[in-house]
């Protein structure tokens, strides 16, 4: 085989492999939520901005099954979020400052431990998203039930 031909074959194979790698990467990456790096402009979108945040940070403990060990609070649906908990209601639409759902995260040792603020800035952004969402009325479609992160197959 001529050296130039061998080079071309090597080059084409290389490009093919890189191409396949990039396609696979975008495919798997496309469904995963990414941490917000800034508070979105306009109204907070529950499904896009709040749902992943609650699933990843809270549902591990605050689901129906584990609620009894975790303050009796289940965050599976809006109705449960507004009616369960030892200090219900912990979610008060329009009033983030009175919502334990926000306060507990900055005041309670368990929560500060459970959700290490790494990096700090992103934690700040996530907190701001939660606050704004509650301030704007805590929209959460009735049919959207949150599940334990291990049960998520597709975001």
Kindly tell me which of 57 and 77 has the beta carbon lying closer to ligand HEC. 57
Kindly tell me which of 44 and 105 has the beta carbon lying closer to ligand HEC. 105
Interface ranges with ligand HEC (CB under 6 A): 57-58, 60-62, 70-71, 73, 85-88, 90, 100-101, 104-105, 108, 110-111, 114-115
Residues in contact with 126: Cβ distance below 8 Å, sequence separation at least 6, in sequence order: 35, 36, 53, 57
Q: How far is the CB of 72 from ligand HEC (least distance, A)?
A: 7
Kindly tell me which of 52 and 71 has the beta carbon lying closer to ligand HEC. 71
Kindly tell me which of 40 and 98 has the beta carbon lying closer to ligand HEC. 98
Q: How far is the CB of 16 from ligand HEC (least distance, A)?
A: 44
Kindly tell me which of 25 and 72 has the beta carbon lying closer to ligand HEC. 72
Q: How far is the CB of 154 from ligand HEC (least distance, A)?
A: 22
Provide the H-helix boundaries in 31-155.
51-57, 78-83, 100-107, 109-114, 120-135
Q: How far is the CB of 33 from ligand HEC (least distance, A)?
A: 14
Give the Cα separation of 112 and 79 in Å (integer): 25
Q: How far is the CB of 70 from ligand HEC (least distance, A)?
A: 4
Contact 86, 72 (CB under 8 A): yes
DSSP state of 94: T
Contact 67, 84 (CB under 8 A): yes
Neighbours of 88 (CB within 10 A): 15
């Amino acid at each position: 085989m001529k050296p130039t031909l061998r080079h071309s074959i090597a080059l084409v194979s290389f490009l093919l492999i890189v191409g396949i790698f990039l396609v696979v990467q975008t495919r798997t990456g496309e469904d995963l939520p990414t941490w917000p790096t800034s508070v979105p402009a306009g109204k907070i979108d529950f499904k896009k901005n709040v749902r992943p945040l609650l699933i990843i940070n809270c549902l591990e403990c605050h689901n129906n099954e584990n609620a009894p060990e975790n303050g009796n609070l289940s965050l599976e649906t809006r109705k449960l979020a507004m009616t369960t908990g030892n200090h219900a209601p912990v979610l008060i639409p329009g009033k983030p400052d009175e919502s334990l759902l926000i306060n507990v995260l900055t005041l309670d040792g368990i929560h500060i431990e459970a959700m290490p603020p790494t990096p700090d800035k992103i934690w700040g952004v996530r907190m701001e998203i939660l606050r704004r969402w509650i301030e704007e009325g805590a929209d959460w479609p009735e049919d959207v039930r949150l599940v334990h992160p291990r049960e998520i197959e597709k975001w």
